[in-house]
Amino acid sequence: MAEQNIYILGIESSCDDTAASVIHNGKILSNVIANQKIHEAYGGVVPELASRAHQQNIVPVVDQALKQANVSKKQLNAIAFTRGPGLMGSLLVGTSFAKSLAFGLNVPLIHVNHMQAHILAHYIDEEGYNKPPFPFLAMTISGGHTQIVRVDNYFNMTVIGETIDDAVGEAFDKSGKILGLGYPAGPEIDKRAKLGNPKAFKFTKPKLEGLNFSFSGLKTAILYFIQKETKNSPSFIEENINDICASIQYTIIGILIDKLKLAVKQTGIKHIAIGGGVSANSGIRQALKDGEQKFGWTTYIPKFEFTTDNAAMIAIVGYLKYLDGHFTKQNVTASARLKI
């Protein structure tokens, strides 16, 4: 292909982060995120508040992404945005904004599936980063998602396992809530787990056949365990917090690794790429490294800023679709339950 100069703006607003990014020929020039602190006080994302905050943030965030990239609106070749899945009110803000901007600039519009984007974030050009070869298995683990996907090509991917109830990040966050930790509790549990004994307390893993996940039983088991122990000794949590966190984390990682092992067995694919906020967890990173030694896996973990919700991943999908001529009509609508 002849050398081209393609600039794409990516916009992400599916949950509680308003984000914009400019990509130039596969390389990220800017990646701006406005986190919505307002939800912390509620211990979870409040959809109504999220939509309002997106509306407030979207113009300044896009403006900042263009400025940081040193790119003018006129240089943009296309506008890519998250169509779904996500919270409807949140998606509507990004979708409407992207449509209007593309219309105003008279450039193509490109819709992006948020779950595909978490996976294709591995194709952002980054010095020293090895992109996974096709086919590979992608495990997306965050506060909103838990999926294992077989990826045969950029736009040919199949979900082979997913959660039937809570997402893995929710399992961390809800366990943390029971323990009186702040929201989101994942990073705090990770920190404390490093100081504790992962085998101090035993929580049974769910007995779910196949590649689907379930985390709601674990949360209930932890709740009953804590209620029982604090009845006997009111300072139980305080005295054992590191061991409790280590044991919870150990159980959750065990569930993820068991399913990955089964997915590798079923597909014969040993390239494993992870994404989503929970991939920051030091225990899962170590477990994947161990998998390289023990099972001959090759694992791929992108830079942290490309694993949590971000717009760089939307921009890279925009770029890949642009090269392929996948454009979207102006009558497109947001889709809260969009499937891969």
Q: Which does 184 bind (CB under 5 to 8 A by kind): ligand KG4, Zn ion, none?
A: ligand KG4
| DSSP secondary structure code for residue 201 in this structure | S
Question: Which strands sit side by side in the sheet containing 156-162, from one edge to the other?
Answer: 156-162, 146-153, 136-141, 271-275, 298-300
Contact string (CB under 5 A) for Zn ion, positions 125-164, x = contact: -----------------x----------------------
Please state, in angstroms and rounded to a whole number, the distance separating the CA atoms of residues 118 and 84. Answer: 12
CA 181, 219, 279: angle at the middle one, nearest 5?
Answer: 70
Nearest approach in angstroms of CB 15 to ligand KG4 is: 5
| 12 touching Zn ion, by CB under 5 A | no
Beta carbon of residue 276, minimum distance to ligand KG4 (angstroms, whole number): 5
Question: Pattern 267-306, binding to ligand KG4, x per CB under 6 A?
Answer: ---------xxx-xx-------------------------
Taking the C-alpha atoms of residue 245 and residue 248, their distance in angstroms, rounded to an integer, is: 5
Peptide bond just before 85 cis, omega within 30 deg: yes
Q: How far apart are CA 49 and CA 257, in angstroms?
A: 35
Tokens of 72: 């003018």
Report the residue from 173, 177, 179, 225 that binds ligand KG4 according to the rule CB under 6 A.
Answer: 173
Q: Is 309 in the site for Zn ion (CB under 5 A)?
A: yes
281 binds, among ligand KG4, Zn ion, none (CB under 5 to 8 A by kind): ligand KG4
One residue of 84, 85, 143, 318 binding ligand KG4 per CB under 6 A: 143
Stretch that binds ligand KG4, among 53-61, 100-108, 136-144, 225-233 (CB under 6 A): 136-144
User: Per CB under 6 A, which of residues 302..321 are in contact with ligand KG4?
Assistant: 308-309
Which of 112, 175, 99 has the alpha carbon at shortest distance from 143? 175
CA dist 155 and 320 (Å) reads: 9
Question: Which residues here bind Zn ion, judged by CB under 5 A?
Answer: 142, 309
